[in-house]
Amino acid sequence: MTRLDYLIAELRCASLRARLWQADIDAVGAALKAGLVEPEQALELLAGCGALDLVAPGNWNAEGWAEAAREYHANRKGKAA
């Protein structure tokens, strides 16, 4: 196997991992929307599959979560007016 063959194989694996992450994220989102899990549980599920950093890198500490929630609700109120 040449370096090129190896790199192509690694890229195929990375593509499959990205699809698995997408499926995990979609499943957690569907469960959250349906009320099957709470937001904190959703974050734990995303952390468990390694996809949490794709959602909001480094923003899910207690204060970061609270600030993100405040901004989200403020923006939603602004759009409703």
For residues 53 and 33, give the distance between their C-alpha atoms in angstroms, rounded to a whole number. 20
Predicted pLDDT of residue 50: 87
What is the CB neighbour count within 10 angstroms for residue 32?
17
Per residue in 48-78, pLDDT (tens digit) is 998 888 886 666 665 666 777 778 778 776 6
Residue 51 contacts residue 21 (beta carbons within 8 Å): yes
